[in-house]
Amino acid sequence: MSRYPSTLIALLAFATLSMSGTALASANPIALEDDDQFGWAILDRDGATQSFGIRAGETLRKIKGQYGPELLVIVDRDQRYVITDAGLIQDALRESRKIRDMEPDIAELAQAQAKLTMAELNRHPGERLERRERELERALGDAERNGEVDEELRQELFEARVALQVSESMERQTRLTADERRDFARQRDKAAERVNRGMSKIRAEIREILQRAKSRGLARLLD
């Protein structure tokens, strides 16, 4: 079973990670176009599914008993159509499989955006940890001046220092020069343009398949 949009969704999730408000405000978004009002799902004769923009498993599971074993579902805005014509289903399969051809561009896009995002997230990694380290040092100093031995504070200070070292190491590893940032941004934008262009063509072909099915009375409107 495969669901092609998961590839795009995964790269977007990975590229944006869990960005803080500051990082999110300053990072450039991925320029991927999306049409959340149009999608399709295909159940082929071997029982495999492919889809883009809709939940394949949930959609096909509900109707394959009535329309299967081979079918095409196309969602256009608030309307859902099922097509069982073998020729049209094969046409849709050929178009949907073209998404595989974009995998190098998708990977390039993901890698470039991940570099930019990680550099942004790790620009000032140690500020909070440095404050925590200073607070613990003061607390431990106060305790020692009072003749107290606070092993918990010692352990917390040790852990804070280790975390700070790790954070600073990550910042060094992900740091980008201004030229590198421009290069990765240019790489990301060019890859996104190729992905957008490819997806626009595929959507247009699937729309054309839907129009052919409608004109021949082969597209049944689902409730």
Distance, in Å, from the CA atom of 9 to the CA atom of 110, rounded to the nearest integer, reads: 10
Per-residue pLDDT tens over the stretch 93-140? 999 889 888 889 988 988 888 888 877 766 665 677 778 888 888 888
3-class DSSP string for 59-107: HHHHHHHHHCCCEEEEEECCEEEEECCHHHHHHHHHHHHHHHHHHHHHH
Q: Is the dihedral of CA 117, 118, 121, 122 positive or negative?
A: negative
pLDDT for the residue numbered 35: 55
Per-residue pLDDT, 73: 92
**Percent of the chain that is helix, strand, coil (3-state, to 5):** 65, 10, 25
- Give the pLDDT of residue 87: 95
Other CB atoms within a 10 A radius of the CB of residue 130 amount to: 15
pLDDT, residue 23, reads: 35
Tell me what pLDDT residue 123 has: 62
How would you classify the pairing of strands 219-222 and 79-83? antiparallel
pLDDT of res. 126? 65
What is the reported pLDDT for 91? 95
**Half-sphere exposure (Cβ direction) of 207: Cα atoms closer than 13 Å:** 11
Q: Specify the pLDDT at position 1.
A: 38
Query: Could you tell me where the beta strands, DSSP code E, fall in the chain?
Result: 38-43, 49-52, 71-76, 79-83, 219-222
CA distance 122 to 181: 14
* Two tokens, residue 137: 């040092």
Residue 43's pLDDT is what? 87
Q: Which residues of the chain have pLDDT under 50?
A: 1-32
Round to whole Å and give the CA distance between 115 and 188: 10
For residue range 131-151, list pLDDT tens digits in order.
Answer: 888 888 888 888 888 887 778
